[in-house]
Amino acid sequence: MQHFWDQPLSWGTAAIFAAGAVGVLAFVLFFVTYAIYFERKVIGWMQYRKGPNRTGPLGLLQSVADVAKLLLKEDTIPKKADKGLFVLAPVLAFVPSFAVLAMIPYSMNLQFADLNVGFLYYIALSGITTIAIVVGGWASNNKYALLGGMRSAAQMISYEVPLVISVVGCVMLSGSLNLREIVESQAGYFWQWNFIPQIIGFAVFLVAAVSELNRTPFDLPEAESELVAGYHVEYSGFRFAFFMLTEYVYVYAIAALTTLLFLGGWNAPAPQLDFIPGILWFFVKFAFIVFSLFWIRATFPRLRVDQLMGLAWKVLLPLAILNIFLTAIGIELMR
């Protein structure tokens, strides 16, 4: 894909880019469909249940049926809502979540845009989704939606800080923000992957990532048993489907990022296993991260709202900064 970027834009290359985007969209939709199915199955199994098993063979069509239901639903907009913003919010939430997928390298040569600030690009764009959530909460003209939106913004902004700082250690080790180069610097045996030298950074990153995704145990913005439904109380039908889609596309993005930054991306655990294609290794690690997210969701209860900010600023942020200092000392000593 990369050599197309270096050529001047013509109708031909534009068509290739569009086809690539549609391909990724189709793949991501497939992932989201079966991530939801898999999530419900895993959580069911972890609660002595069987999970969806009635729609289609083994319940495989359950998410398809759910999405079809959402799309067929009546499209309601509250009378006193701010119509323009209300319609804009789901779009504004989804577009950046999809745009961040452009910089993910799946293997050595399969990547859409080889940005030299790949990680920063992710952080910059995912911040826009926070705005969309506040906009959605505000435009609904509903106090629960507004409170949910405010909570969500506070949480996502707070946890973005330790998320970014925890990655600085990785960047220092590889000397680049380019995701492809970060992965290449982890080549070799699996103990050379960043999750061992950067164990503190990895732990902080995981916690902050789960929180960024607004998933249990950090799902306070939605908190279905406390707030009504957070910022999307007033949303239904396909607008609600877009918010859900955004959430799961971010699961995809974060799982891919964790794989790339800390689990060595497409590198095999040992150089002897290199005959297995890198993209397979990537998706094995990716699936493990996605499973872990579901596992965490099935295990932990929700945090209290007064513990939430304390955790971000008093625990995760100092740990992340400590990690930077330790990494710097380590680099200095190893030289």
Partner 1 sequence: MKGMLKGLGVTMKTLGSKKVTLAYPDVPIDMPDRFRGIQYFDPDKCIVCNQCVRICPTECITLTGKANPDPEKKGKVIDTYDINFEICILCDLCTEVCPTEAVVMTNNFELASYSRDELFKDKDWLFGNNTNVREDNNNIGSPKGGAK
Interface with partner 1 by CB under 8 A: which residues? 42, 45-50, 295-296, 298-300
Length of the chain measured in residues: 335
Q: How far apart are CA 1 and CA 118, in angstroms?
A: 16
Tell me how far, at minimum, the Cβ of 154 lies from partner 1, in Å. Answer: 24
Looking at beta carbons only, is 41 or 232 nearer to partner 1? Answer: 41
Tell me how far, at minimum, the Cβ of 203 lies from partner 1, in Å. Answer: 10
Residues contacting residue 5 through CB under 8 Å, at least 6 positions apart: 113, 114
Tell me how far, at minimum, the Cβ of 189 lies from partner 1, in Å. Answer: 26
Q: How far apart are CA 194 and CA 186, in angstroms?
A: 7
Looking at beta carbons only, is 117 or 296 nearer to partner 1? Answer: 296
What values do phi and psi take at 234, rounded to 5?
A: -85, -5
Tell me how far, at minimum, the Cβ of 297 lies from partner 1, in Å. Answer: 10
Helix (H, G, I), strand (E, B) or coil at 315: helix
Looking at beta carbons only, is 191 or 300 nearer to partner 1? Answer: 300
Tell me how far, at minimum, the Cβ of 299 lies from partner 1, in Å. Answer: 5
Contact in structure between 83 and 130 (CB atoms under 8 Å): no
Looking at beta carbons only, is 229 or 298 nearer to partner 1? Answer: 298
Looking at beta carbons only, is 46 or 164 nearer to partner 1? Answer: 46
| Positive or negative: CA dihedral 255, 127, 130, 93 | negative
Displacement of CA 78 from its chain's centroid (Å): 30
Please report which helix (H) or strand (E) contains residue 233, including its range: none
